[in-house]
Chain A
Amino acid sequence: MATEDARYRESSQFRQWSFSPVQLASMRDKANTLARTSIAERLSTSPPNNASTNSMSAPTSNANTPDPDGGTPSLPEFLTPAEEALLVTFYTSELLRAGDHAEMGDEIKATAAAFFRRFYVTNSIMTYPPQQMLIVALFFGCKAEGAFPRITDFAQTFGKEDPQDILAGEFLLCQGIRFCFDVKHPFRALRGAVMELRKLGDIDTSRIDSAERRARDILRFSPLVTDAYFHYTPSQIMYATLSHADRGLVERLIQETFHYVAPPTNSGPDTPTASGDASTPATSRRDTNKGDDNNKAAIIGSYIRDRVLGTIEACRDMLAKEMPERREHWSNKTVIKAQITPLRKKLNKCHDPDRWDLVKLQKVRREQALKKGDSEDGSPGDRVASSEADASLFGGDVATAQRDAKRRKVGAKGLDDPFGGAL
């Protein structure tokens, strides 16, 4: 295994925030279904203008929840996962525009966009307001990338009077992104690739420069508004953008990198380590350095080269859907009117009334926490709901441990659920 890959596998981006398309889709479906269930329950039990604290912690994993679609006729129409995805993409492009407006660096914008998209993987857009969350993501992205703007200045930039509007969502965002603050970007990787290309020596520098400019432009937009960060590694994304800019350069670079060809005694082209032993006839001469050869073939052989090229090609196709020229598409008035506005209207009707206002939500939660701290046991129904939810999250053991008085106190402090509230 290549050492670079082993090191990348150690990152939180790979361990926590990389998914196959199927997994990602199922997670989004799940988030959507749960949001529907809880909002339907909420709307059918109490009128929206009277947001009482009790309903906040309604059991979400209850089996006998009434079907929201076939339930009371007063229920609004909910967004489908596809519509949600469209909205998230739209708001991501909005986020990037906001970042441009505030004259932020590329990495800050990219980090904020990654935070935003990650947040809406496990949370539905119907639960928390995307327009506020994108500002929060930008603010927190600044901090994650080592820039520390004043919150008052920052709020003013976006026309917000009260900094609390931004701060209220900050911890929520952290929970949603599961405290993975380090996002690996392809920007520096592009520099590395350019260094390597320049080192080859026989390529026109102006060609490299123009390709780099174009690739960087794509990197600023395309991977951020697509799911590329979930499905591909930064280097793969980088090569995909570079191949959009100049396909020949990428092919050259990949050929140079995966240059290893098995010695000629081996019949046929070298094959992967696993199937290589089966397909190649056992030659006694190469027995001594066969392991070494196989290892090399697995790292820089032609088989892995083809796989990498295939992955880059797939990533390229994904990025092709959202080329930088689509910036205008997302800010085009007619497009917004045709596609986004109806969804927004729908969203206005079907959003979660309790959690839409982040400031109020924070206030309510603080009060709740205080109340819990004052009266040791809290409301029994609430307790049952929480332990049920914990059981579903951690696999049953916690439910029994929760009865422990000590545990309960810790739970009342809000530490038992570090990864955020319900949808």
Chain B
Amino acid sequence: MLRKAPVGARGMAPGTASGAALPLTTDDMCPVCKTIRYLNKDMEFLINPECYHSMCSNCVNRLFNDGPNQCPYAGCNRTLRRKGFRSAFFGDLTVEREVDIRRRVAAVFNQAEDDFETLRDYNNYLQMVEDLTFDLVSGAEGKRPAAEAQLQQWEAEHKADIERNRKAGREADEQARRRLTAEREAARQRRIEAIKEAEDEKLERARSREAELDTLAQAPEGQRVQLKRRGQTNRAGGATASAVETTVNTAIAAADVGRLSIRGLKEKRKAPAPEGPYDPFGGSDFVPSRYKVGEGLAHPQVEKYRFDQQHITGGYSFDDYTARAMFEAFAGLGVFIEDEKEVGIGMSAGQVATIGAGIAAVGDRMELD
């Protein structure tokens, strides 16, 4: 898709409408219509990721409003569409192109480290992806289409995986975002608390000063005042200690949050396949394969009890009887004991013989009851 490198002369692309921070260069001139920025202050340069040739928005409108058209650059015979044009984010269009390619490759090769058995595997994978990306970005003329084909093939083959990883990635992003907001909220709370604490402290200090003055006024005994003051300082010391404790706690909490994120990463590891519901019959299939149980199956010996109070009061199920009778009529019809016992689907002939012999040979040591 990317045949052409951007025009060499235009090393520095003009600033875009949004990219006001980029330094503007003097040659702000549309290479198609030769309009210069001096004449049109609002001139905006657009590129198309087909070939990364930039032109002003007026030219784009003029050339491509009526449908797809060829790129106006000499020698470039790409067919461009109006829809494909956008303003470049980077001034350097090679960088813009590389970013585009990397974004595209990353969307396809979106395995996380947790998807791999070992770190080495993951590193190998990253190396492979990077090689491919390099081929796409600045590979030789022969290598680029090969890499492109490889990418497309991978995309086609692993569509489901990619989609799943993308979803997982989105979830992870969501989690990270939530965590971030939670952290921010916690920080805000901490700040508010700190402010409150400082205010409290200020108030306390003022109050203690008042009290001190009062005691001084009431009882002029120096020792008492001293003691009080000491108690006061002690209390203050306790307060600072608790403050230290809370900061430690918050630090631990922050560390916890950090560890949590790591654990979250681990949890992304592929869960074991679901075991499915518990089967109390050990996989036995109860769907009859040689007969059908349904209406019309009746036996006169059984039917006569259908209106017998003694039978129906207790909840006797005639359907169950029918099902069981039918099962017994067909169960084991295809079991050929002679063949199966000789060949040994159940127990092999030798086994049976040894067991039989063992039973017969066992010494006389049993006890009754």
Contacts and interface: CB of A to CB of B under 8 A. Distances in A.
Interface of A: 1-10, 14-15, 18-23, 26-27, 30-31, 34, 56-61, 121-123, 168, 171-172, 175, 178, 184, 186, 188-196, 198-199, 209, 230-236, 238-239, 257-258, 299-300, 304, 307-308, 311, 362, 365-366, 368-369, 382, 385-386, 388-390, 392-394, 411, 413-414, 416-417, 419-423
A7 B285 CA distance: 8
Interface stretch (B98-106, B201-209, B341-349): B341-349
A419 B362 contact: yes
11 contacts: A4-B290, A5-B331, A8-B335, A18-B346, A20-B339, A21-B338, A233-B337, A366-B368, A369-B367, A419-B362, A423-B360
A168 B368 contact: yes
A192 B327 contact: yes
A233 B333 contact: yes
For the side of the interface on B, what is the size category?
Answer: 35 or more
A57 B365 contact: yes
A95 to B, nearest CB: 22
Nearest to A256: B291
B338 A4 contact: no
Contacts of B300: 209
A422 B363 contact: yes
Given A2-B290, A195-B322, A19 B337 contact: yes
Given A6-B285, A420-B359, A14 B364 contact: no
Given A5-B334, A175-B366, A23 B297 contact: no
Contacts of B288: 3-4
A235 B366 contact: no
A188 B325 contact: yes
B337 A235 contact: no
B356 A193 contact: no
Interface of B: 284-291, 296-302, 322, 324-339, 341-342, 345-347, 349, 352-353, 355-369
A60 B361 CA distance: 6
A193 B290 CA distance: 12
In order of increasing CB-CB distance, the 6 nearest A-B pairs are: A192-B329, A233-B332, A414-B367, A393-B358, A192-B325, A8-B332
Contacts of B359: 122, 178, 393, 419-420
A422 B361 contact: yes
A191 B285 contact: no
Given A3-B286, A4-B290, A191 B325 contact: yes
A405 B322 CA distance: 55
Nearest to B295: A199
Given A8-B331, A172-B368, 17 more contacts: A2-B290, A5-B333, A5-B335, A15-B346, A20-B338, A23-B342, A34-B361, A56-B364, A188-B328, A189-B325, A193-B329, A196-B297, A236-B332, A257-B330, A300-B290, A414-B366, A423-B360
Nearest to B352: A23
Contact of A386 (B287, B339, B342, B363): B363
Nearest to A38: B364
B367 to A, nearest CB: 3
Contacts of A423: 360
A134 B327 CA distance: 31
A235 B287 CA distance: 18
A299 B297 contact: no
Contacts, number: 240
A22 B353 CA distance: 10
B350 to A, nearest CB: 10
B307 to A, nearest CB: 19
A189 B327 CA distance: 7
B346 A257 contact: no
Nearest to A53: B364
B313 to A, nearest CB: 20
Given A3-B285, A171-B368, A231-B338, A23 B353 contact: yes
Given A2-B290, A8-B331, A192-B325, A307 B336 contact: yes
A407 to B, nearest CB: 13
Contacts of B335: 5, 8-9, 14, 233
B289 A3 contact: yes
Nearest to B350: A23
B353 A389 contact: no
A351 B339 CA distance: 36
A61 B342 CA distance: 26
A311 B360 CA distance: 31
B299 A18 contact: no
Given A192-B325, A233-B337, A411 B331 contact: no
Given A3-B287, A4-B289, A21-B338, A389 B367 contact: no
A368 B322 CA distance: 52
A30 B356 contact: yes
A398 to B, nearest CB: 11
A4 B330 contact: yes
Nearest to B347: A15
A422 B360 contact: yes
A184 B328 contact: yes
A122 B341 CA distance: 18
Contacts of A26: 353, 356
B329 A238 contact: yes
A26 B113 CA distance: 65
A235 B328 contact: yes
B363 A189 contact: no
A419 B289 CA distance: 37
Contacts of A5: 331-335
A389 B324 contact: no
B327 A4 contact: yes
Given A191-B301, A308-B333, A171 B285 contact: no
B290 A27 contact: no
A190 B325 CA distance: 8
A387 to B, nearest CB: 9
Contacts of A60: 361, 363-364
A289 B312 CA distance: 46
Contacts of A369: 367
Contact of A235 (B332, B353, B361): B332
Given A4-B330, A4-B333, A59-B363, A30 B290 contact: no
Q: Which residue, B288, B300, B302, B367, has most C-beta atoms of chain A within 10 A?
A: B367
A15 B341 CA distance: 9
B326 A196 contact: yes
Contacts of B284: 3, 6-7, 10
